[in-house]
Copies of this chain bind each other. A is one copy, B any other.
Amino acid sequence: MFIILTYDVGEKRVNRVRKCLKKYLTWTQNSVFEGEITEGKLHKCLADVNKFIERDEDSLYIYMVKNIHNIKKEVIGQQKNYDELFL
């Protein structure tokens, strides 16, 4: 399935969270990761990331679409490749 994962994580934890998410998804905007992922890998990804976040402070939204053809993306302005930036 295709997922969009958006996050709002405290500064102290954000680098660890990004590093973890990068193993499974593509970093496409400052607070956004996206990509094709199996249910099993998503489960593993969320279990991993759970180790680093504070549930009473941080926030992760995961939007899941089974068929990528059911979602359309439009970009206004920049489409950076955050994966090429330092992490």
Query: Contact partner of A74 among B49, B64, B70, CB < 8 A?
Result: B64
Question: Copies per complex?
Answer: 2
Q: Mark A48-68, 1 if CB is under 8 A from B, else 0.
A: 011001111111111111110
A26: Cβ under 8 A from any B Cβ: no
Instruction: Select which of B53, B65, B75 is within 8 A of A65 by beta carbon.
Output: B65
Q: Residue A4 contacts which of B4, B28, B56 (CB distance < 8 angstroms)?
A: B4
Write the nearest CB–CB distance from A67 to chain B, whole angstroms.
Answer: 7
A77, B64: Cβ atoms closer than 8 Å: no
Chain A residues within 8 Å of B, Cβ to Cβ: 4, 6-8, 28-32, 46, 49-50, 53-67, 70-80
